[in-house]
Amino acid sequence: MLRKILLPTIFVILSWGFWISPDFKTITAGVAIFLFGMLSLEDGFKAFTGGVLEKILRKSTNRMWKSLTFGFTACTLMQSSSLVSVITISFLGAGLIGLVEGIGIVFGANVGTTTGAWLIAGFGLKVKISAYAMPMLVFGVLLIFQKSKSLKGLGYILAGLGFLFLGIHYMKEGFETFGTQFNLTDYSMSGFNGVLVFTLIGILATIIMQSSHATLVLVITALSVNQITYENALALTIGANVGTTITAVLGSLTSNVTGRRLALSDVLFKVTAGIFFVLTLNSIIDVVGIISHFIGIADDDYTLKLAIFHTLFNVAGVIMMVPLVNQLVKLVSFLLPEKKFATIKALYLNDSALEFPDTATEAVRNETLRIWQNTITILSGVFGFKRADVLSDIDLYQVAEAQKKLTQYDIDTAYASNIKSLYGEIIIFISKAGFSWEMEQSGQIHWLRKANQNIADAVKESKHLQKNLLLYSTSYNPKMREAYTRIRVELSLLLRELEGIRLRTDEDSSIFSLDHLRLLLDEHISNMNKWLAQAIRERSISPEMATSLMNDVSYATNIYRNLVQMGETLFVKRSHKLSDAEQAISLNEDEFEEIREQAESAK
């Protein structure tokens, strides 16, 4: 409900502001241009995250000081703690880094974001930066129209910087002329109440604009032309720092519990620092004054003093929190515990079923079918889809394209609770029966055990596949995104097809359907190998990406093959040997080879 009324409310407020003051239009246009510059800058850096940033991340976060340094450097270069936070959450969700390393990166990014305040206060307001913006925009737009991914990315970076500078220019001009009609200092509030009110305003502004940088630029430019008081500006800065956590929170909503823990850590860090600085603001002002005097900043140069305050806020917060990282991890783990799966118990494996071979066989079959149903749920989650979507007629490619991020599925717990435990009970049940059964039932039990093993192997293979599936299914590299989307969609369609075969009553058509799936597997492998060779020739993916993809195609192939073999056993009743009818209609290996050759010659 709040989301529905928020945008119309903002539109109404902006329209009212445009009506009462033309200069207000200049200020808000400056904010809009600045935010567009931030988006362009992020798009530019995304063009260079298809392997380089990932490698650096993996090698640069095994110590806390390395994590802090990486976060600081990445944010200094990108000028976007939001992008660094989102990337960190995605890697955390993929299991590439731990929570402690993720916290270190986010803390470092918070310090790195202070460099923007220094650039704006020390350079952006003292130089006519619009003169630098124009050439950047011209060269940037020219590069954006190039086909090369690197040149296009560089173009977005230049254009983003140009829009940032242009936005700052318009905000400054707007505030300078705004003072002739309105004096915002008339609405200033002193004392503790003023600090609280303007801190809340800073939080609200940052939530609306989704950028602490934009709020900070607005505050610095307003302060530079004396449109707000120094104390109120500091309170707004505190609010901007606290409000910027909204990006991490939103980014964690589609992540797993570890990603949400990282977002909560960032919130606790900012809120704790915010409360501390609000309560001790007068003392902090004195500290800022001492530092300013020591480094030669004039007493009335409030914009640079605000940059010092912003740096002090983030650096002091990191210094306070780094020694408490382990306690912080324990706290967020307590507040956001792992989701527990209830261990399922066998429903049909009782002693009375052991009295007759037929009832024992049917009991094992029914429990195996329960394992299959649990497998659908688990694999659907691993592949990034809802079970209901996988089993419906919905276009999974459209669902995949609409997904901005995949959530890591806790496959270990799900397997242990919903497959391994029940599989173990089946093995124990079979061992109780001994070897006194008829040959027919003994053969069926053998195949059912094989079906359970196929299921277990498929789920285990999916665990190996999941890491890169999370990494590349929403990758900024379009080729890798296409490849991994195809892998997870086709495996999900296999689940749909197998469940459809299970529900059929015509056993012969089920055999034909399984033969069709076996042929599709060969076709998929052939198509993927051709696609991979072309992508390598075009250099649209790196050799490292190609190696990862080849390994994952192997995992996907094993999953596919195990599930089809499971279907042959579980959905088409098997005995110790195939019946004559089954032998007559089931394709053998020679026939498969002949069909493959015919398909190749037809192409």
CATH number, domain with residue 564: 1.20.58
**pLDDT at residue 54 tops 60:** no
What are 411-465's pLDDT values in tens digits?
888 888 888 888 888 888 877 765 454 545 566 777 888 888 899 999 988 988 8
What are 216-263's pLDDT values in tens digits?
777 877 777 777 888 888 888 888 888 877 766 766 665 667 778 888
User: Do 289 and 360 share a domain, yes or no?
Assistant: no
User: Do 360 and 265 share a domain, yes or no?
Assistant: no
Residue type, 167: G
Give the contacts of 151 (CB within 8 A, at least 6 positions apart).
Answer: 143
Look at residue 272 in the predicted model and tell me its pLDDT: 87
What's the token pair of residue 251? 């980014």
Residue 357 — pLDDT band, cuts 50, 70, 90? confident
What are 194-229's pLDDT values in tens digits?
888 888 888 887 777 666 766 777 787 777 777 788
| 488-513 exposure pattern, b = at least 16 Cβ within 10 A, e = fewer | bbbbbebbbbbbebeeeeeeeebbeb
H helices within 129-190, ranges in order?
A: 130-144, 149-178
- Choosing from 271, 305, 335, the residue where a domain stops is 335
User: Do 327 and 362 share a domain, yes or no?
Assistant: no
In a domain, residue 346? The reply is no
For residue 311, the enclosing domain spans: 34-178+185-335
| 156-175 exposure pattern, b = at least 16 Cβ within 10 A, e = fewer | bbbbbbbbbbbbbbbbbbbb
User: Do 566 and 421 share a domain, yes or no?
Assistant: yes
Residue type, 142: L
From residue 525, alpha-carbon distances to 460, 483, 522 in Å are: 20, 12, 5
Q: Are 267 and 247 in contact (CB under 8 A)?
A: no
How far apart are alpha carbons 122 and 571 in whole angstroms? 72
Number of domains making up the chain: 2
What are 488-524's pLDDT values in tens digits?
898 999 899 888 888 876 655 556 666 667 777 777 7
Burial class (CB in 10 A: 0-12, 13-18, 19+), 399: middle
How far apart are alpha carbons 583 and 578 in whole angstroms? 6
Q: Are 180 and 173 in contact (CB under 8 A)?
A: no
User: Do 222 and 286 share a domain, yes or no?
Assistant: yes
**Positive/negative CA dihedral, 486, 487, 492, 497:** positive
Residue 18 — pLDDT band, cuts 50, 70, 90? confident
Mapping DSSP to helix (H, G, I), strand (E, B) and coil, where does residue 34 land?
helix
CB atoms within 10 A of CB 375: 24
How far apart are alpha carbons 338 and 254 in whole angstroms? 15
In a domain, residue 218? The reply is yes
Separation of CA 449 from chain center:
38
In a domain, residue 221? The reply is yes
In a domain, residue 512? The reply is yes
User: Do 105 and 231 share a domain, yes or no?
Assistant: yes
Residue 587 — pLDDT band, cuts 50, 70, 90? very low
Burial class (CB in 10 A: 0-12, 13-18, 19+), 319: exposed
From residue 488, alpha-carbon distances to 408, 462, 481 in Å are: 14, 10, 11
User: Do 577 and 435 share a domain, yes or no?
Assistant: yes
Mapping DSSP to helix (H, G, I), strand (E, B) and coil, where does residue 55 land?
helix
Comparing 234-248, 488-502, 526-540, 579-593, the range with the smallest average pLDDT is 579-593
Q: Are 11 and 145 in contact (CB under 8 A)?
A: no
Look at residue 33 in the predicted model and tell me its pLDDT: 79
**pLDDT at residue 583 tops 90:** no
CB atoms within 10 A of CB 312: 16
Look at residue 376 in the predicted model and tell me its pLDDT: 93
How far apart are alpha carbons 461 and 128 in whole angstroms? 59
User: Do 48 and 165 share a domain, yes or no?
Assistant: yes
How far apart are alpha carbons 388 and 437 in whole angstroms? 40
User: HSE-up of 23 (CA within 13 Å, CB side)?
Assistant: 13
- Report phi then psi at 166, rounded to 5: -65, -40
Q: Are 297 and 304 in contact (CB under 8 A)?
A: yes
Residue 346 — pLDDT band, cuts 50, 70, 90? confident
User: Do 322 and 463 share a domain, yes or no?
Assistant: no
What are 151-202's pLDDT values in tens digits?
888 888 888 878 877 776 676 666 556 544 545 555 667 778 888 888 888 8
How far apart are alpha carbons 245 and 254 in whole angstroms? 16
H helices within 337-438, ranges in order?
A: 357-382, 387-390, 396-402, 411-415, 421-433
What are 295-307's pLDDT values in tens digits?
888 877 777 888 8
In a domain, residue 344? The reply is no
More confident residue, 190 or 326: 326
What's the token pair of residue 281? 């603001």
Look at residue 588 in the predicted model and tell me its pLDDT: 45
**pLDDT at residue 330 tops 80:** yes
In a domain, residue 91? The reply is yes
From residue 237, alpha-carbon distances to 207, 330, 399, 513, 565 in Å are: 13, 30, 40, 64, 62
How far apart are alpha carbons 220 and 236 in whole angstroms? 10
Mapping DSSP to helix (H, G, I), strand (E, B) and coil, where does residue 280 land?
coil
In a domain, residue 29? The reply is no
Average pLDDT over residues 366-391: 91
Mapping DSSP to helix (H, G, I), strand (E, B) and coil, where does residue 48 land?
coil
What's the token pair of residue 287? 């500290």
User: Do 436 and 466 share a domain, yes or no?
Assistant: yes
User: Do 474 and 559 share a domain, yes or no?
Assistant: yes
- Choosing from 310, 335, 360, the residue where a domain stops is 335
User: Do 93 and 129 share a domain, yes or no?
Assistant: yes
Q: What is the average pLDDT value for the chain, to the nearest integer?
A: 76
In a domain, residue 166? The reply is yes
Look at residue 507 in the predicted model and tell me its pLDDT: 56
